[in-house]
Amino acid sequence: MRELPRGGYTDWRMPTQGELAELYNRGKSYKAQRSYDVHLTELIQLSACCPWASENRKDVFSEAAFFGFGLGDRRWTLPWKSGDLRALPVRSGK
C-alpha cells in the first residue's frame, strides 16, 4: 500500500462504516459543498454526502461500503458507480 504523507503523518487509513456512523449527529446539519444536507459536526467539511468505508464484499459484484451522512445509513455500491463518494481518511490517534 502506498503511504500518503499528510500533516507529517503516514498512518492514514480508511474508516469503517461503524466509525463513520459514530460521527453521524442528527442534531447537527450543514450543506456540503455539493448542496447535500449532512448531519455531523462542521469541524469535518464534506464535499458530498457520503465517504467511502474500508469494508468490501467479495460477492458476485464486489461491492464497496460507504456511509450516508444525509440519512445516517450504511450502504454498498459498485466502485465504478460512485460519482459522489469521497475519501475521508482517518488516523488511529495513538
d(CA 83, CA 48): 10
pLDDT at 94: 60
pLDDT at 4: 60
Q: Where are the beta strands (DSSP E) in the chain?
A: 30-31, 37-38, 50-56, 64-68, 73-77, 85-86
pLDDT at 14: 93
Q: What is the pLDDT of residues 44-89, one digit of tens each?
A: 988 888 999 999 988 777 899 999 999 999 999 988 877 778 889 8
Q: What is the pLDDT of residues 1-38, one digit of tens each?
A: 455 667 788 888 999 999 999 999 999 999 988 778 99
Phi, psi of 11 (to 5 degrees): -105, 30
Give the number of other Cβ atoms within 10 Å of residue 67's Cβ.
Answer: 25
At CA 33, angle to CA 42 and CA 11, rounded to 5?
A: 60
